[in-house]
């Protein structure tokens, strides 16, 4: 069973729309949740959320962590074609040093 589940798997929107991407995780020993954006090559870091930092914002992107309901959302407002990418969610646990990624959400923003 997957420890980190992202939804939707794929999304197509028009430029200017607002999108919300979801990431849910198992409860056991949660330490931090990270969001990455992957275009053609390597994933690049967007946000990290922990128990002491449950909301982050950078420009049109923002993210929150709901520790009670065990999920995080990544919000992108006024989308642009340059936002087209795969968005990855990863969770780290107190019980070890591994990092678990979800399968990602593929976002396509059309002109």
Partner 1 sequence: EAQVTQNPRYLITVTGKKLTVTCSQNMNHEYMSWYRQDPGLGLRQIYYSMNVEVTDKGDVPEGYKVSRKEKRNFPLILESPSPNQTSLYFCASGRQVNQPQHFGDGTRLSIL
Give the binding site for partner 1 (CB under 8 A). 31-32, 34, 41-45, 48, 50, 88, 90, 92, 97-104
Instruction: Find the shortest distance in angstroms from Cβ 78 to partner 1.
Output: 25
**Is the CB of 68 or the CB of 94 nearer to partner 1?**
94
Instruction: Find the shortest distance in angstroms from Cβ 89 to partner 1.
Output: 10
**Is the CB of 22 or the CB of 32 nearer to partner 1?**
32
Cα separation, 45 vs 60, in Å, equals 15
**Is the CB of 23 or the CB of 76 nearer to partner 1?**
23
Cα separation, 42 vs 73, in Å, equals 22
Instruction: Find the shortest distance in angstroms from Cβ 14 to partner 1.
Output: 26
Reported in sequence order, the residue ranges of the chain that DSSP labels E, i.e. its strands, are: 4-7, 10-14, 19-25, 30-38, 43-50, 55-58, 61-66, 71-76, 85-93, 99-101, 105-110
């Amino acid at each position: 069973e997957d420890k980190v589940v992202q939804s939707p798997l794929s999304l197509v929107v028009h430029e200017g729309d607002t999108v919300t991407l979801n990431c849910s995780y198992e409860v056991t020993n949660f330490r931090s949740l990270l969001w990455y954006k992957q275009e053609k090559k390597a994933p690049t870091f967007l946000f990290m959320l922990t128990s002491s930092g449950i909301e982050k914002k950078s420009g049109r992107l923002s993210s929150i962590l709901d520790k009670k309901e065990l999920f995080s959302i990544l919000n992108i407002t006024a989308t642009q074609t340059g936002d087209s990418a795969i968005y990855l969610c990863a969770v780290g646990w107190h019980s070890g040093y591994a990092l678990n990624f979800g399968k990602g959400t593929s976002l396509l923003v059309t002109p």
